[in-house]
Amino acid sequence: MHRRTFLTSTAALTMAGLTVPAAAVQSRPPTTTGPRATRATTLDQLRQEIAAAGPGARIVLANGTYDVPADRPLAFQGKHGTAAAPITVLAETRNQVILTGQRGFTFADSSDVTINGFVFRQRSTLDLPTSCSGIRLTRNDFQFTDSSGLNWVLVRADNTKLDRNHFHGKSTLGVFLGIEGPGSAGMARGVLVQRNYFSDHTFTGDNGGEPIRLGLSGRSLSDAGALIELNLFERANGDPEAISVKSGSNTIRDNTIRNSLGGIVLRHGNKSRVEGNFILAGSNGIRIYGNDHLIVNNYVENVSGSGIVLGSGSVRDHLASDSPESRRGNDAPDRVTIALNTVLSSGTAIAGESVRTLPPLGCTISDNLLVGDSGKTLVSMPYQQGIAWSGNILWGQASNGNISGGFSRKDPLLTTGGVRRLTSGSPAINAASKTYPTVTRDVDGNSRSGRADVGADEYSTAAPTNRPLTATDVGPSAP
């Protein structure tokens, strides 16, 4: 099926603005965990400092543009900081240290290393291999050569942290960030992707332009335990999947996707949680395959396709014994819960697929708030036998579609403008049909207590702690 039309048929660093004068760096007193900060003004000096670095070392590279030779990268080989005292290499002034050339930093057999504040303009992938762990990339700007097939950052190291970076400006095949793992089937464990800004990918092909690709089909039975949170995606038009999950036991929460072709897709893998995300004014919402997922507290508005799609399958379940070809097939959803979400003014609020023959089984769609406009349909679900519906509230001039029960049609009395929340008289308040012991907050970050309110918002007069992100909340200058 043509992937671009799949839904039409259905403890941060505090280094903001850091400038480190040479005298201040050299006169800094030693830390209790390692040597004092040192300053390098050439690549050779930087290499020497890296070679001598131990836990707690801080190395500052002076402002300027540095062309890194292909045969002499900035290599971390056998270098080990600690979690409390990493080895840190940072730009003298953020966004004013530019690395060009074939490769910049390389890593092997190293741990607890932080790279902070650089502008990366390389011609080959920045690879964090399985021999490393605890690598952190923070407050960097990534815009590699725009060549077809080049993936910019590839993470295979456990406990990697990527935070407050900006990935932008790609028009060809290739992902901004790929997360894989050991061998052909493993996944890096414990990766954190937080407060990054992914913008302006304009690849027009059918597939392969994801901002984040978390796994691959051959790795789908491996649990990654990754946390993808508080990231902003704007004009992410390289693929229908802005966050493409192809592994298990991941959490995708509190992200904002705005004005983008891409949505959140659980393409392969099991037991992931998609919670508290805002998908606004784009083309695709949330699409689900695989087993035992929880889709909760998400807010989707003005998506031209479907807000939430519960897929169908070409295989019932992926198995370790599957052939590579079978592993690429769509795993029919089993035991998926879609609950307490709000979908407004979209092409279809909740939809299914009929392009594959295996239906969802044992799935629950409950206590969602679905509001649609004239000429639209709220529910279009070709396979009904494997779904239990309850407690959903439908409203608006859109038709109900083929939902046959488990809903009421009531005006939810939403606010107007911005994120549309419940008002004090809403019939959605305390109206949930089920209990959700593991859901303790709503899309705003406010507590849910007692019987939940229907939809993503739990009525409250408290100020939201989670809201749609803007460019000032993410990227190199983020808090």
Query: Checking DSSP bridges between strand 294-296 and strand 119-122, what pairing results, if any?
Result: unpaired
Secondary structure (3-state) at 359: coil
- What does the pLDDT read at residue 23? 34
Which regions of 41-187 does DSSP assign to beta strands (E)?
A: 58-61, 64-68, 74-77, 87-91, 97-101, 105-108, 111-116, 119-122, 126-128, 133-138, 141-142, 153-155, 161-163, 166-170, 177-179
Domain count, the chain: 1
**Predicted local confidence at residue 206, as pLDDT:** 81
* Pairing assessment for the beta strands 342-344 and 369-372 based on DSSP bridges: parallel
C-beta atoms surrounding 175 within 10 Å: 26
Q: What is the pLDDT of residues 257-277, one digit of tens each?
A: 999 999 999 999 999 999 999
- Identify the residue whose tokens are 């070679």: 51
Residue at 50 is within a domain: no
Cα 413–418–420 angle (5° rounding)? 25
Predicted confidence at residue 113, as pLDDT, reads: 98
Q: Hey, which residues does 238 pair with through a beta bridge?
A: none
Q: What is the pLDDT of residue 319?
A: 83
16 falls within a domain: no
Residue 276 domain-assigned (yes or no): yes
Q: Is residue 360 part of a domain?
A: yes
- Assign residue 199 the CATH number of its domain: 2.160.20.10
Which residues does 478 contact at the CB level (< 8 Å), separation at least 6? 12, 164, 195, 472
63-472-138 Cα angle (round to 5): 45
pLDDT along the chain (479 residues), means of 10: 38 36 34 67 98 97 97 98 98 98 97 98 98 98 96 98 98 98 96 98 91 96 97 97 98 98 97 98 97 98 98 88 78 96 98 93 98 96 95 98 96 96 97 97 95 97 96 98
Domain limits for position 377: 125-473
**Does 114 map to a domain?**
no
Residue 418 counted as domain residue: yes
Residue corresponding to tokens 């305390």: 430
The pLDDT of residue 466 is 97
Residue 76 CB neighbour total at 10 angstroms: 24
Predicted local distance difference test score (pLDDT) of residue 133: 98
Determine the Cα–Cα distance for residues 262 and 260; give it in Å rounded to an integer.
5
Is residue 86 situated within a structural domain? no
Which tokens belong to 23?
């005298």
User: Which residue type, as a one-letter code, is found at position 448?
Assistant: R
Assess if residue 26 is contained within a domain: no
